[in-house]
């Protein structure tokens, strides 16, 4: 398994569409103004070590916080460094990644995923990046073995997501995976725009489904509709902003797209059983962030 290593510094840019997709490209970056473009048909793993990364695709723009990982395989992706701190990435064609997945039982490919990095996945990615550093005197590991171990560690992080495949339509694994990829595209678009009112027609267009079919299949796989998921994300964001920041309620109202402050306060009380004033008063009394109650 061929691995190619790149050290990116202030102002560097890299277009991976010009590079061979059958090799694994290991990126070790540090500095502002770095930009990396990955083409459609590629899969990539991103891990900001300190500070966030700005990522963008056709589904929108979002930020990946430090110590979180993201597996991306849904079209072209652009990465931009928001600060001078370091980050690692591993990129190759989807076919190259899927070949590693054949060693798992059962054989499955990785899905788009975002979450906190596990110790195993982080350690293996760091080892792969470190082994390509010319100044490292330690004995390098076998690239194929390390890549297969990393693929397995990422698969362990996706156990819950892989379980959704069984609830997808399709007689073959490939067809069920295609269905889940479409639904994950919709889910990611909702996550990228939690403060934007849901446009069901646009979301159904992303998945190439009719709105009614999208609602039906989304509920069968994830246990809720896209509208319910978007509302849940917005409620969580509202709680975090009220309980964890000192922003005025009127500003939070506008940032979350509510028509009026009274509408926001009503929705907050209905969701959590407490008013915004009660939550902030409890925070001041306790001196810590108030734990989120169960939804009312």
- Confidence check: pLDDT of 26 > 90: yes
* Residue entry with tokens 């991306």: 72
The average confidence (pLDDT) of the chain is 88
- Quick one: 12 and 102 in the same domain? yes
Q: Contact, 207 vs 213, CB < 8 A?
A: no
Query: What CATH code is carried by the domain that includes residue 108?
Result: 2.60.120.10
150 and 70 fall within a common domain: yes
pLDDT at 84: 78
**137 lies in the same domain as 271:** no
Nearest one of 259, 256, 229 to 245, comparing CA atoms: 256
Confidence of residue 81 (pLDDT cuts 50, 70, 90): confident
* Domain region containing 135: 3-157
Structure-block tokens of residue 240: 């975090």
Q: Which three-class secondary structure state does DSSP give residue 274?
A: coil
> Is the pLDDT higher at 258 or at 1?
258
Confidence of residue 150 (pLDDT cuts 50, 70, 90): very high
Residue 291 lies inside a defined structural domain of this protein: no
Residue holding tokens 């925070």?
283
CA pair distance 56, 73, nearest whole angstrom: 13
What confidence score (pLDDT) does residue 210 get?
95
Q: What is the pLDDT of residues 111-139, one digit of tens each?
A: 999 999 999 999 999 999 998 665 555 56
Q: Collapsing DSSP states into helix, strand and coil, what is residue 126?
A: helix
pLDDT of residue 107 exceeding 60:
no
What's the structural domain count of the chain? Answer: 3
Q: Are residues 149 and 172 in the same domain?
A: no
Asked, for residue 162, whether it belongs to a domain, the answer is no
Alpha-carbon distance of 236 to 259, in angstroms, equals 18
Per-residue pLDDT averaged across 78-100, rounded? 91
pLDDT, mean of residues 13-40: 95
Could you give the percent of the chain with pLDDT greater than 90? 59
Q: Which of 104, 123, 157 is the last residue of a domain?
A: 157
Residue 58 and residue 173 in one domain: no
> Do 196 and 279 belong together in one domain?
no
Question: Where residue 246 sits, what CATH number does that domain have?
Answer: 1.10.10.60
Same domain, 76 and 212: no
Percent of the chain at pLDDT exceeding 70: 90
Average pLDDT value for residue range 100-117: 79
Residues 74 and 198 in one domain: no
Q: Locate 74 and state its tokens.
A: 């849904």
Does residue 126 sit in the same domain as residue 12? yes
Whether residue 47 is found in the same domain as residue 174: no
Do 46 and 108 lie in one domain? The reply is: yes
What is residue 291's predicted lDDT score, i.e. its pLDDT? 63
Separation CA 194–CA 226 (nearest Å): 12
Per residue in 154-169, pLDDT tens?
999 999 998 899 899 8
Is residue 16 domain-shared with residue 150, that is, in the same domain? yes
Q: With a cut of 70, say whether residue 44 has pLDDT above it.
A: yes
Check residue 296 and give its pLDDT: 43
Residue 105, pLDDT > 80, answer no
Q: What pLDDT digit, counting tens, does each position of 55-72 carry?
A: 999 878 899 999 899 999
């Amino acid at each position: 398994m061929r691995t190619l290593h790149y050290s990116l510094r202030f102002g560097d840019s890299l277009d991976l569409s010009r590079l061979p997709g059958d090799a694994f490209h290991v990126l070790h970056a540090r500095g502002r103004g770095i930009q990396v473009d990955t083409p459609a048909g590629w899969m990539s793993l991103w891990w900001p070590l300190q500070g966030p990364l700005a990522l963008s695709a056709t589904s929108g723009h979002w930020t990946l916080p430090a110590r979180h990982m993201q597996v991306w395989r849904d079209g072209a992706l652009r990465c931009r460094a928001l600060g001078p701190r370091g980050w690692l990435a591993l990129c190759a064609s989807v076919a190259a990644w899927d070949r590693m997945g054949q060693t798992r039982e059962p054989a499955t490919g990785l899905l788009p995923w975002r979450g906190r990095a596990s110790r195993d996945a982080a350690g293996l990615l760091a080892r792969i990046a470190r082994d390509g550093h010319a100044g490292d005197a330690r004995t390098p590991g076998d690239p194929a073995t390390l890549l297969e171990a990393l693929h397995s560690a990422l698969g362990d992080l996706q156990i819950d997501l892989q379980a959704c495949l069984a609830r997808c339509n399709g007689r073959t694994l490939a067809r069920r995976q295609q269905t889940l990829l479409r639904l994950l595209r919709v889910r990611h678009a909702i996550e990228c725009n939690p403060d934007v009112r849901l446009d069901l027609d646009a979301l159904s267009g992303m998945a190439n489904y009719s709105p009614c079919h999208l609602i039906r299949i989304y509920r069968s796989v994830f246990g809720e509709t896209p509208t319910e998921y978007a509302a849940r994300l917005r409620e969580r964001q509202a709680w975090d902003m009220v309980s964890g920041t000192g922003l005025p309620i009127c500003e939070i109202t506008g940032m979350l797209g509510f028509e009026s402050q009274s509408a926001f306060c009503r929705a907050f009380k209905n969701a959590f059983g407490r008013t915004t004033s009660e939550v902030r008063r409890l925070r001041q009394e306790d001196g810590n962030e108030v734990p989120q109650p169960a939804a009312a």
